[in-house]
Amino acid sequence: MDGRPEKHARREIVNAVLYVVRSGCPWRYLPADLPPWQTVYWYFTRWEHAGVTENLLAALRVKTRAAQGRGPEPSAGIIDSQSAKGADTVGRDTRGYDAGKKINGRKRFIVTDTLGLLVTAWVLAASWQDRDGAKGALVAATIAAPLMRHLFADQGFAGRLVDWARETLKTTVEVVRKPAEQKGFAVHPRRWVVERTLAWLTAHRRLARDYERIPEVSEAIIRWAAIAGMARRITRGTPARRQPRRTFTWT
């Protein structure tokens, strides 16, 4: 065998990365029963440079879709954005202010398939408008899922983005508008899936706000959170479901 054998199993490295993503702790605060944080972070950056998480995400998406009786590649998807507050570690050059949400930080653009499985993540300063910032996410989604040529979006993506996607990417962006008679919150059949995915992702405490110095690391954390969710979904066999409300009778 060439070279020195690895001291820590790759599975333990993955467990340590997922621990950081789920708990939100700094790398230096990893528990002592996991590999040293320097080793874990070295693998984390090495795998990102090699494109490991993109490949793993794609493989898990194919497997999850097969378990749900779907084809390996999606033909339709949904795009949405989420503004997240930026921690002190986020530099001024990669953060901005979302006047609509009144949030100073970054904006996450995600594209999912119709099952809510992540296809791509794109992180920019929160000051970017949806119709402008979505272009990078759409290009990345086209590369990750070439057969996905129809996307549903909310009203924030209306306008010139629709024309740009049709002319440049040969992709149709269908804007799902809120019914005029709607009052308050209502579930939209073509949009709730991606909103549910955003809720699942932000359940990971590392994504409760943006802590990363550069947007590329933020995108990597989103992918790791999605990888964890898909792995659980494959193991369980069905999407997560809300537990029924319990009723008690007092005597």
Question: Average pLDDT for residues 105-126, to the nearest whole number?
Answer: 97
- Tell me the C-alpha distance between 61 and 98, whole Å: 32
pLDDT per residue as tens digits for the range 162-215: 999 999 999 999 998 776 666 665 666 678 899 999 999 999 999 999 999 999
* Gap between the Cα atoms of 91 and 234, Å rounded: 37
Domains with residue ranges and CATH for the chain = 73-179+188-210 (3.30.420.10)
pTM for the full predicted model = 0.89
Range list of H helices, the chain: 10-23, 37-49, 52-67, 130-144, 160-164, 192-202, 215-236
Q: What does the pLDDT look like over 116-169, one tens digit per residue?
A: 999 999 999 999 999 999 999 999 999 999 999 999 999 899 999 999 999 999
Instruction: State the pairing for strand pair 172-175/76-85.
Output: unpaired
Tokens 């994504």 belong to residue: 207
Q: Which residues contact 29 (CB under 8 A, 6 or more apart)?
A: 37
Distance CA 226, CA 220 (A): 10
Which residue is it, tokens 């033909």? 75
| Cα(116)–Cα(119) distance, integer angstroms | 9
Question: What tokens does 110 get?
Answer: 């995600």
Whether residue 8 is predicted with pLDDT greater than 60 in this model: the reply is yes
By C-alpha distance, which of 75, 93, 87 is closest to 146? Answer: 75
Would you report the helix, strand and coil content of the chain in percent, each value rounded to 5?
Answer: 45, 15, 40
Contact criterion met (CB below 8 Å) for 128 and 134: no
- CB 78 within 8 Å of CB 118: no
